[in-house]
Structure 1
Amino acid sequence: MSYKTGLDFSKRQDQEDKLAHYRSKFHIPKDNNGKEWLYFTGNSLGLQPKSTQTYIQQELNDWANLGVEGHFEAKNPWLPYHEFLTESMAKIVGAKPIEVVVMNTLTTNLHLLMVSFYQPTKTKYKIVIESDAFPSDRYAVQTQLEFHGFNAKDGIVEWKPRENEELLNIEDLEHILNEQGDEIALLLIGGVNYYTGQYLDLKRIAKIGHAKNCMVGIDLAHGAGNIKPELHDSGVDFAAWCTYKYLNSGPGSLAGLFVHEKHAYNKNLKRFAGWWSHNKDTRFNMRQQLDVMPGAEGWQLSNPPILSMAAIKASLDMFNEVGMDALREKSEKLTGYFEFLINQLNNQKIKIITPKNPKERGCQLSIQVQNADKSLHHKLTEANIITDWREPDVIRCAPTPLYNTYQDVFNMVEKLKDILN
């Protein structure tokens, strides 16, 4: 797509945008004068769909009117409520329904999955992560190593960018596995790096790991609802993601979990279990040995928190209506336009560290500003532009296709230019 400067171009693109009307389906935060913020932090917390309140209110009404009978008699019965989310969530991450379940929170799910898929031996125990992995991932693998009696300093292998580069190179991961593969038990990689926005080749990562008999897991916190990870076809063993970023389910809401179909019927996999792991046909017979359900549902522990799931359902119904193909198409156009305008500033202090190829990034641009500090972020915030600051000098901006516009992007870049000047 070719882009042009000027406000008129952004307005014309918004007029031609087939998804433009979805913006009106979200609550857009406003300042004290009623002017809408320019909101670019869907990569941290997605905005609230206006339908969310109705979905949650339905469950509150059923709870008030039915009490415990709501498990069976509610409009959306609570007992199987998580099943109402499965098919839509599977479409978003490119999985089969048997491979997906919504439960717990992201790092909790990663720990539960590592109970099953991180089975170290004395000689094959190391875990590969990105050198700039999200801190929670690092802490999770560190404590898993220590739990199993290993020294985390020896056990964590970092996949690093090359000198004077910000992005990861897949050949370097191959080199790590060729050198240390016999000592590596697990790869746990962020599918979209939280800092740079780089979208990694999951299928190739799985192939590299599996060639050395390693398990491969993916953190999709910044990928779910943003890119099309095609988890089943990728061949990765497991994945987990939160739903409060691009999936707009509300602060601290539940997470998603993927276990590849090839592991679906393996009841010998070690796991931490709870009563919701048990065969749903006999779950309430009580007083019996665990009969683990096949597929991702077998990693559940407890009955689902309905109010959080209602918020997720509100968002997933919208995603089901729009489809990931349309969202990715607009996302690539929006970030391309954003990149074009930033480059038009011709400011030597500015560098975009996110990949230039739209296919290798999510809907995030990470803008590095030389010699900047957090005062730049504060000035943007004072101008009602909500971005995300990452030390030492990076502004993360995510023009989210469901509710951000081309004019949002134009206005943001104009204000950034004013502040820098």
Structure 2
Amino acid sequence: MQFQNTRSFARKLDKNDKLSKYKKQFHFPKVNNKKVIYFTGNSLGLQPKTSQAFVNEVMEDWKNLGVEGHFYGEKPWWDYHERLAKPLAKVVGAKPEEVTVMNTLTVNLHLLMVSFYTPTKKKYKILCEEKAFPSDQYMLASQVRFHGFNPAEAIVEVKKREGEHFWRTEDILSKIDEIGDELALVLIGGVNYYNGQVFDMEAITKAGQSKGANVGWDLAHAVGNITLELNKWNVDFAAWCSYKYMNSGPGNVSGIYINEKYLGKKDIPRFEGWWGHSKERRFLMEHDFQPMTNAEAWHLSNPSILSLAPYLASLQMFEEVGMDVLTEKSKMLTSYLEFILNQVDKEVDATFEIITPGDRGCQLSVFLHGKGRSIFDYLMKNGVIIDWREPNVIRLAPVPFYCSFEDMYEFGQILKKGMTGQDKT
């Protein structure tokens, strides 16, 4: 399609957009008494208007039923989490029994490491990307130390090539071959938080497993953003947060994926708790642990229902739309934003550098040579909510559920005024 940098063209795209109606189903912050252009769904998604009703329902059951809400509520708390498995499985390309929701992201990664990082004296190394998200770095280092190894020796980082802003798949595969039989685990962010790059999860998973290593993925920036086929790719395990592209609320509950080949096993290393015990026998208070035959075997305590409620509200929207439609719009919207940025660059000689490669979801990371932080501040004051990352990068995530093509055009106009020193009118 031949894009145009005009409001009429953007409105034409919006008119033909299958998802345009969903923008009205979200609450937007306001700046200068006007709804913002929201580009930070890769950090915290907007609140769906249906979320409040789901939370209120739980509060009403608690008020009116007390402890009996566990079994007699509108949506009984006893099995509330089970309602999320089927729609979530569709989002991540899994079977319903392979997914569940519990805890928060780094907590779940630690729990999954118990099962999937079992190092030996020879086979102990972990492969990850250079400058992984800090919480992942801390988690990996602490796990390695816990097992008596030195992180400097046990953790191998794949670096970007000199002068490049992205990783090359061939370099990752080459590093896997280089580590060879010493490789115990591959754990990478499926979509990099900084530059928005989507890794070739299928190829990397196959390569890591060919060396006898387990392969897992931190999907915080991938779930609800890109097409995932975790079961088809034979991924061993994965975890993600729900508050970015999945719009479940700040710091909300995490999801996990456990490949079906590990389900129903009693002898797998695992930290265990009573909510992972057989559902039918849970209240018999038995001495010996009988694991659930699905991913729920990794549960410890009963889940937080007030956290699950807004997640369920959001998942119903994903169920209505489907990932194919979301990703179709995402690609078009992100491409139009890229076009707008390039047009502004030409008009004002802004020297932007888009560091996000072609393998991407709905994020563009833009290196601002020159004005940098002053442009970020200008955009924020003028109703464009974006994210700043050192040393001089803004992250823009045009989420297809609630961003429009006219938003992209309007952003370009505001950005151009900021670059030329004009005040916003």
TM-score, normalised via structure 1 length: 0.97
Where does 1:17-96 land on structure 2 (aligned, <5 Å)? Answer: 17-31=17-31, 33-96=32-95
Q: Structure 2: which amino acid aligns with 1:408?
A: D
Distance 1:192 1:179 in 2: 24
Q: Per the alignment, in what secondary structure is the counterpart of residue 253 of structure 1?
A: coil
Which contiguous aligned blocks of 4+ residues in structure 1 show a shift greater than 4 angstroms? Answer: none
Q: Which residue of 2 aligns with 1:339?
A: 338
- The one-letter amino acid paired with 2:12 is R
Aligned residue pairs, count: 417
2:156 counterpart letter in structure 1: V
1:352 aligned onto 2:354: yes
> Counterpart in 2 of 1:308?
307
Equivalent residue, structure 2, for 1:194: 193
Could you give the per-residue CA deviations for residues 255-274 of structure 1, whole angstroms, max 9, x where no partner exists?
10000111112221101111
1:304 & 1:348 partners in 2: Cα distance? 49
- Secondary structure class of the residue paired with 2:227: coil
Structure 1: distance between partners of 2:200 and 2:97: 23
- What secondary structure, in the 3-state scheme, does the structure 2 residue paired with 1:133 have? coil
8 Å CA contact 2:264–2:291 kept in 1: the answer is no
Q: CA RMSD in A?
A: 1.0
Letter in structure 1 aligned against 2:353? K
Cα displacement string for residues 107-136 of structure 1 (whole angstroms, at most 9, x for unaligned residues)? 000000000000001111111111021111
Q: Distance in 2 between matches of 1:349 and 1:389?
A: 17
Task: Report the counterpart of residue 120 of structure 1 in structure 2.
Answer: 119
* Map of 1:269 onto structure 2: 268
- Aligned equivalents of 1:349, 1:15: Cα separation in 2: 32
**How many Å separate the matches in 1 of 2:373 and 2:100?**
39
Distance 1:209 1:310, change over 3 A: same
Q: By how many angstroms is 1:227 displaced?
A: 0.5
- What does the per-residue CA deviation read over 1:337-363, in whole Å, with 9 as the maximum and x for residues that have no partner? 01111112323621111113xxx2010
1:38–1:412 contact (8 Å) kept in structure 2: yes
Distance 1:236 1:348 in 2: 42
- Select between 366-375 and 126-135 the one with higher mean Cα deviation: 366-375
Instruction: Confirm or deny: 8 A CA contact 1:87 1:97 kept in the other structure.
Output: yes
Instruction: Give deviations 1:241-280, integer Å, cap 9, x for gaps.
Output: 0000000000010010000111112221101111011011
1:188–1:218 contact (8 Å) kept in structure 2? yes
1:201 Cα deviation from its structure 2 partner: 1.2
The alignment-based identity, stated in percent, is 52
2:140 aligns with 141
Q: Structure 2 stretches of 5 or more lacking a match?
A: 421-425
Q: 1:167, 1:229 → 2: CA distance?
A: 20
Aligned to 1:401: 400
**1:372 CA drift (Å):** 4.0
CA contact (8 A) 1:372 1:393 kept: no
Q: C-alpha displacement at 1:87, in angstroms?
A: 0.3
List gaps (5 residues or longer) in structure 1.
Answer: none
Aligned partner of 1:10 in structure 2 is 10
Question: Aligned with 2:132: secondary structure?
Answer: coil
Q: Which residue of 1 aligns with 2:224?
A: 225
8 Å CA contact 1:373, 1:392 repeated in 2: no
Alpha-carbon distance, 1:71 to partner: 0.5
Which has the higher mean CA deviation after the structures are superposed, 370-379 or 173-182? Answer: 370-379
- Structure 1 counterpart of 2:268, one-letter code: L
For 2:423, the equivalent position in structure 1 comes to none
Q: Counterparts of 1:283 and 1:331 in 2: how far apart (Å)? A: 43
Residue aligning to 2:178: 179
Q: Distance in 2 between matches of 1:84 and 1:295?
A: 14
Query: What secondary structure sits across from 1:281 in the alignment?
Result: helix
Q: Distance in 1 between matches of 2:232 and 2:294?
A: 16
Distance 2:233 2:200 in 1: 9
